[in-house]
Structure 1
Amino acid sequence: MTSAEEPTPRALFAGSSSRWIRLLPWAVAFVLCVALLPTTIEVLRNDYGLNAGVASALAVAQTAPLLLAVVHPLRAWCVIFPADVAGALLLLTVDFPAERLWPFPPMEIVGYVGLCLALGLRLPRRTLLSVWLATAAANVGLVFFAPHGTTATSVLLTILGGVAILLSAALRERHEVQRRLVEQETISEAERARRTVLEERARIARELHDVVAHHMSVITVQANTAAYRLDGVTPGMREELTSIAATARESLGEMRRLLSVLRSEETPGELEPQPDLARIAQLVDAMERAGVPVEFTPSDAAVPEAVGLSAYRIVQEALANVVRHAPGAPTRVSLSADDAVLTVLVVNGPPPEPPAAPVEEGGTGHGLVGMRERVRLVGGELDTGPLADGGFRVMARLPVTETENDSEGTA
C-alpha cells in the first residue's frame, strides 16, 4: 500500500461549483490543527509526563499532516498512524496515572477520526479496508502492552475509525453515482437529439427524392419524345436530346441507389405525391375535427415544391405540438408570400379553462429540431418561443427563389 494508489492529487471537493464547499476541507483541517496541536503538547507533557521536546515532536507528527490530508490523505495517514503508535509506545516509558487513557489520548482519537473521513472521501474500497485492518491490528497488538490492565480506547479507535471510513465512503459513492447519472442523462439527451436530426434528414432526403425524381422523369420523357413531337429536328439536335435523356436516366438511377441506403424495411416509400401548401387546409380541418379551434389564412402563391413541402411539415409539427401540449387552445395558422419569401406563422393561445390534461408533459424539443432542419433545407429562418399570455409561436420564413446560400443551407 503506497501513496501512488491515490486516484488524483486534487483537494477534496475541488470539483464543487460552490467556493465555500471547496474551502470546507481546508477550514476543517486548519481548525483541527490549531486546536489539537497545542492541546496534544500540553496533555502529553503535563498529564502523561513526557519530555517537552518529545511531546512537541509527537504533536506535530500527529496533527500537522491533517493539512496534507486535504490533498493526499493516504500520505498523511502514513505519517499520523505511525506517530500515534509511536506515541503509545513512548507513553510506556513514563509513569502516568492509571486514570489516563492509553494507548490513545482523546485528542489523538479526534485527529485520527478526522483523517479517516478524508480517507473515505478519496480512496478506493480495497485501500480503505487495508487502512482499517492495519488500525485494528495495531490496536489489538497494543492491548498486550497495556500498563494498567485492559483499556477500551483501542476498541474505540477501531470502531470510530471504521464508522468514519464507512460514512465518508458511502457519501463519496453516492455523489459519484449521482454524477454519473447526470452525465448519462446528458449523453442520452444529446444522442436523442442527434438521432432526431438524422431521422429528419433521412426523411427529408426521401421526400426530396420523390420531388426531384418527378422532374427528372419529366425531363427524360420530354427529351425522348421531342424528336417525334417537334418538326425540323436535325440529327445533331436529336443526338443532343438523346444525350440529355440518357443523363437524366443515369441521374435518376443514382438517386434511387442513394435512396435505398436511406430507406429501411420499417420505412416504406410513399406512393402518393408529397404534400404542399394546398394540403395544409386538410391539416386544419383535421385539427378542427379533433376539437382544436383553428383560424386559417391560406395563400395561393406558387412556390417551389421543396418550399411547399417544408411549409406543410412545419405546420404539421406545430399543430401536433398544440394537440400534445395545449389541447383545445385557439390556434391561428397564416401563410403569406411575396416575390421572395413565404412566411409560415402558427400561433396558439393558452389552453381553455379548465385546461385539459396535455397529451405529453414537458417535451423534448425534438419537434423543433425537425422544424429547424426543414428551414435549413431551403435556407430560411425559424423563430419559436412562448408568448406572454401562455401561448406559443412558430414563425418560419422560407425563400421562394433560388439564392447562392440555398446550397450552403442544405449542406
Structure 2
Amino acid sequence: MIRPSSRPAPEPARHRMLRAVRQAPHVLAAELGTPTEPGTPLFGSVRNAWLRWLPYAVAFAFAVSLLPTTVTVLSHDYGMSGGLAGALATAQTAPLLLAVTRPLQAWWVIFTADVVCALALTGADGVADRSWPWPPMVIVGYLALMLALSLRERGRTLIAVWLTTGVAGVLSEAITPDRINSTWVLLFVLTGVVLLTGATLRERGDAQRKLIEQETISEAERARRTLLEERTRIARELHDVVAHHMSVITVQADSAPYRISGIPREAAEEFGSIAATARESLAEMRRLLGVLRSEEAERHGGPEKTPQPGIGMLPKLVEGTVRAGVPVELSLSEDRAPLAPAVDLSAYRIVQEALANVVRHAPGARTRVSVTTAADGSRLTVLVVNSPPPAPSVPSAPLETNGTGHGLIGMRERVRLVGGSLDTGPLPDGGFRVAAQLPLSPPPAPAASLSPKDSDSL
C-alpha cells in the first residue's frame, strides 16, 4: 500500500512571481520608510582633515551652483512663476548638504521636490520641446545625491531607490505633455550606473578596511606570541640558575649534621626538613620546565644540557661572529666583580642578539662591543654599536623581525627581568646602537669552606 505523501504540492512558478510582485511595494515601503541613523560623515574616518571636509565642500559646490541655475531655467526657459521656481529649486538643491550625513532623508526631500516640479511643469508654457519630467539640472543634482547614497546605504535600500525612480518615470508617461523630450529612461539608467559604481567602491573600501584590521590583529597576535615565546625561553634558562642554588641548599642541609660536630638533634631534624623541601622544590621545577619546554626543544630530544652562558663566554661568541664576516672589537672591564647569574646571563644574551642582528642585517659592518661596570659598582653597561654595512647595494632589513622570538623583544625582556633599561636606535651615519643598563645587586656570599675538622668528620 502506497501512502500519500505529506509534503505540500510545489507552488507554480506563476503564483510565486505574482506573490513577489504583490510583496514588492511592501518591501520598497519598508526599505524607504526606515530612516537611517546619522552616522559618520563621508570620509569621516580619514585622518587628513582636508579629506574629511571634502564631501562638505563638494556638496556645497553642487548646491551653490545648481540653485541659481535651477531657478533661472525653471522661470525663464520653462515659464514657471518666480516664487514657485525659487521654492522648488531650494528643495531640490539645499538637501544636498544633508546628504553628507543623512543621504536617505535628503533623497526623500529631493525626490518629492522633483516629482512636484514635474507635475508643475505639465502646465507650464515653455515645456514644449524641452526635457521632461526631469530637467537637466535636476538630473545632475539627482546623480550627485545617488553617489552619496550609494556610499552609505545598504544594497536593498539602493535597489528600492532605483526602482522607485523607475516607477516614477513610468507613471509620468500617463501625463506626458505634447512635444517634450522624455528623460525618465535616461535618469533611470544613469541612476543605476551611479548606484552600482558607488556600491562597488564602498564594498571594495569595506573589504580593504577589514583586511587592514585583520592584518593589524594578526600582527598584534604575532607580537604577543613572540613575547610569550621569549619569556618562556628566559624562564627555561633561569631554571638552571635557580636549580643550581637549590642543589647547593640541598647538599649543605644534608651534610650539615656531618660537617658540624655536636649539633643538637632538633637542629639535625630541621636540616633534614630543609633538604627534603629543597628536593621537592627541585622536582616541581623539573615539572615546570617540562611545561615551559618549547616544541622545538621537544623535537631535538629535550632541554639543553649545556651550562648557561655568561660574560666570560663573550670572547668565544665574538670569535664566531668574526668568522661569520663581521669585524668585532670586544672591550671588557678588567676589574669585573662577580655578577648575579640573572645579570650575567642577560648581558650575554643581549650581546648575542645584537651581534646576530648585525650578521643578518648589516653583514660586514664594523662592530664594537663594550661591557663595563660603573665606578660605584651599581650597574653594568652593555654597549653594541655597528657602522653601516660596507655594501650599500644590499638592502638592510629592520632590526626587529617578527616570529623569531629574539631581537628587540628578547632584549627588552632580559632587561626588564633584572630591572634595567634599554636604549636602541639608528645612528646618524646609518649604523645602529644597542645600550643596556643592568643594575648590579650584591652577589650571594660563597659557601663557607670546610674546616679541617669538618673534613675529617666527612
- Would you call these one fold, judging by a TM-score over 0.5? yes
The residue aligned with 1:100 is 130
The residue aligned with 2:408 is 368
The one of 390, 413, 420 aligned to 1:380: 420
The residue aligned with 1:320 is 356
Residues 208-239 of structure 1, C-alpha deviations (whole Å, 9 max, x = no match): 11110111012112211221233222212201
The residue aligned with 1:408 is none
Q: Once the 2 structures are TM-superposed, how far is the Cα of residue 111 of structure 1 from its aligned partner?
A: 1.0
Q: Once the 2 structures are TM-superposed, how far is the Cα of residue 10 of structure 1 from its aligned partner?
A: 3.3
Cα distance 1:346–1:97, how it changes in 2: closer, same or farther (>3 A)?
A: closer
**Whole-Å separation in 2 of the counterparts to 1:169 and 1:371:** 49
**Whole-Å separation in 1 of the counterparts to 2:396 and 2:43:** 42
Q: Once the 2 structures are TM-superposed, how far is the Cα of residue 319 of structure 1 from its aligned partner?
A: 0.4
**Whole-Å separation in 2 of the counterparts to 1:51 and 1:150:** 20
1:295 and 2:329 aligned: yes
CA contact 2:55–2:100 (8 Å) conserved in 1:
yes
CA contact 1:323–1:359 (8 Å) conserved in 2:
no
The residue aligned with 1:407 is none
For 2:329, give the aligned amino acid. E
For 1:271, give the aligned amino acid. K
CA contact 2:231–2:413 (8 Å) conserved in 1:
yes
The residue aligned with 2:388 is 350
Matches within 5 A, 1:17-166: 17-148=47-178, 151-166=181-196
Cα distance 1:13–1:239, how it changes in 2: closer, same or farther (>3 A)?
A: same
CA contact 1:65–1:79 (8 Å) conserved in 2:
yes
Q: Once the 2 structures are TM-superposed, how far is the Cα of residue 328 of structure 1 from its aligned partner?
A: 0.6
1:335 and 2:371 aligned: yes
Q: Once the 2 structures are TM-superposed, how far is the Cα of residue 369 of structure 1 from its aligned partner?
A: 1.6
The one of 222, 228, 232 aligned to 1:202: 232
Cα distance 1:351–1:168, how it changes in 2: closer, same or farther (>3 A)?
A: same
For 1:314, give the aligned amino acid. I
> What secondary structure is seen at the aligned counterpart in 1 of 2:385?
strand
**Whole-Å separation in 1 of the counterparts to 2:394 and 2:241:** 39
The residue aligned with 1:227 is 257
Q: TM-score, normalised by structure 2?
A: 0.81
Matches within 5 A, 1:387-406: 387-401=427-441
Aligned-pair Cα RMSD in Å: 2.4
Q: Once the 2 structures are TM-superposed, how far is the Cα of residue 192 of structure 1 from its aligned partner?
A: 2.2
Cα distance 1:3–1:398, how it changes in 2: closer, same or farther (>3 A)?
A: farther
**Whole-Å separation in 1 of the counterparts to 2:49 and 2:176:** 46
The residue aligned with 2:447 is none
**Whole-Å separation in 1 of the counterparts to 2:263 and 2:396:** 64
Out of 22-31 and 142-151, give the one that drifted further: 142-151
Extract structure 1 runs of 4+ deviating beyond 6 A.
none
Residues 269-312 of structure 1, C-alpha deviations (whole Å, 9 max, x = no match): 21121111122222111111111111112345421111111111
**Whole-Å separation in 2 of the counterparts to 1:340 and 1:303:** 11
> What secondary structure is seen at the aligned counterpart in 2 of 1:64?
helix
Cα distance 1:94–1:5, how it changes in 2: closer, same or farther (>3 A)?
A: closer
Q: Once the 2 structures are TM-superposed, how far is the Cα of residue 364 of structure 1 from its aligned partner?
A: 3.5
**Whole-Å separation in 1 of the counterparts to 2:361 and 2:295:** 31
The runs of 5 or more residues in structure 2 that have no matched partner are 1-30, 444-458
> What secondary structure is seen at the aligned counterpart in 2 of 1:179?
helix
CA contact 2:133–2:184 (8 Å) conserved in 1:
yes
> What secondary structure is seen at the aligned counterpart in 2 of 1:122?
coil
The residue aligned with 2:245 is 215
Q: Once the 2 structures are TM-superposed, how far is the Cα of residue 356 of structure 1 from its aligned partner?
A: 6.7
Cα distance 1:182–1:169, how it changes in 2: closer, same or farther (>3 A)?
A: same
**Whole-Å separation in 2 of the counterparts to 1:3 and 1:320:** 66
**Whole-Å separation in 1 of the counterparts to 2:139 and 2:182:** 12
Q: Once the 2 structures are TM-superposed, how far is the Cα of residue 185 of structure 1 from its aligned partner?
A: 3.1
Residues 164-191 of structure 1, C-alpha deviations (whole Å, 9 max, x = no match): 2233333333333333333333333322
Cα distance 1:138–1:295, how it changes in 2: closer, same or farther (>3 A)?
A: same
Out of 262-271 and 61-70, give the one that drifted further: 262-271
**Whole-Å separation in 2 of the counterparts to 1:96 and 1:190:** 67
Cα distance 1:5–1:248, how it changes in 2: closer, same or farther (>3 A)?
A: farther
CA contact 2:146–2:194 (8 Å) conserved in 1:
yes
CA contact 1:3–1:74 (8 Å) conserved in 2:
no
For 2:369, give the aligned amino acid. V
